[in-house]
Amino acid sequence: MDNASSCLVEISHARRDLAIDMIYADARNFTGRAVYRRPGCFLHPDAAERLEEAIVHAARLGFKLKIFDAFRPSEAQWRLWQHTPDPDFLADPRRGSPHSRGVAVDLTLVDPSENELDMGTPFDAFTPRSHHGAPDVSATAHRNRLLLLGVMTTAGWDFYRNEWWHYQLFDARRYPLLSDSAAGTELMA
């Protein structure tokens, strides 16, 4: 990991059977503004390998993964934190996020037509209903969350209890925090 830019790989649906909708590249996110200058999905090679396994597991069940966010430059984490400094749903950028290390993904399951499965809340709904095991979501949403949990944990991912959509490598803190310039992703304006 001498060169930070060489430690991230771009994930694209052209090379993989998955859907990508980088929601922070436009105004459809909780800030109401684009956080990234351009859409781009990057992960550390270790996380990319785990993602490949998750894609296979999802396909065996007749589903695809849809990624909303992956590597998040430290600058982007600061923007999100400045908008909504809620430690229940956002990592304090002084501590660092697994996203800013390239070892976390925010995602859901979609059917073969790329319709999102009902998860009980939208992505980035910062409410207790987004927690794994939330008692006030439908049985269908519970089942779908458990399907996603099974796919991801079988592929070697850890989950964050407050967000049904967030998965990260178990040893996330061993990876360095990366800024956009250090990562060479050119995601930030």
Asked whether residue 188 is assigned to any structural domain, the reply reads no
CB 133 within 8 A of CB 172: no
For 100-125, b/e burial (b = at least 16 CB within 10 A) is: bbbbbbbbbbbeeeeeebbbbbebbb
Please report, for the domain that includes residue 177, its CATH number: 3.30.1380.10
CB 140 within 8 A of CB 118: yes
pLDDT of res. 16 = 66
pLDDT digits (tens, 9 = 90+) for 76-112: 999 999 999 999 999 999 999 999 999 999 999 999 9
Asked whether residue 41 is assigned to any structural domain, the reply reads yes
pLDDT of res. 153 = 98
Q: Which residues are catalytic?
A: 163
Number of domains composing the chain: 1
Asked whether residue 162 is assigned to any structural domain, the reply reads yes
Asked whether residue 86 is assigned to any structural domain, the reply reads yes
pTM of the complete model beyond 0.85: yes
HEC profile for the chain? CCCHHHHCEECCCCCCCCEECCHHHCCCCCCCCCCCCCCCCEECHHHHHHHHHHHHHHHHCCCEEEEEECCCCHHHHHHHHHHCCCCCCCCCCCCCCCHHHCCEEEEEEECCCCCECCCCCCCCCCCHHHCCCCCCCCHHHHHHHHHHHHHHHHCCCEEECCEEEEEECCCHHHCCCCCHHHHCCCCCC
pLDDT of res. 1 = 37
Joined together, the tokens standing for residue 175 give 């990876």
Give the whole-angstrom CA distance, residue 91 versus residue 81.
8
Asked whether residue 43 is assigned to any structural domain, the reply reads yes
pLDDT digits (tens, 9 = 90+) for 168-186: 999 999 999 999 998 999 9
Q: Which parts of the chain register pLDDT below 70?
A: 1-6, 15-16, 189
Angle at 55 between CA 49 and CA 57, to 5 degrees: 110
Joined together, the tokens standing for residue 145 give 């969350």
Asked whether residue 189 is assigned to any structural domain, the reply reads no
Tell me which residue range forms the domain holding 174.
4-183
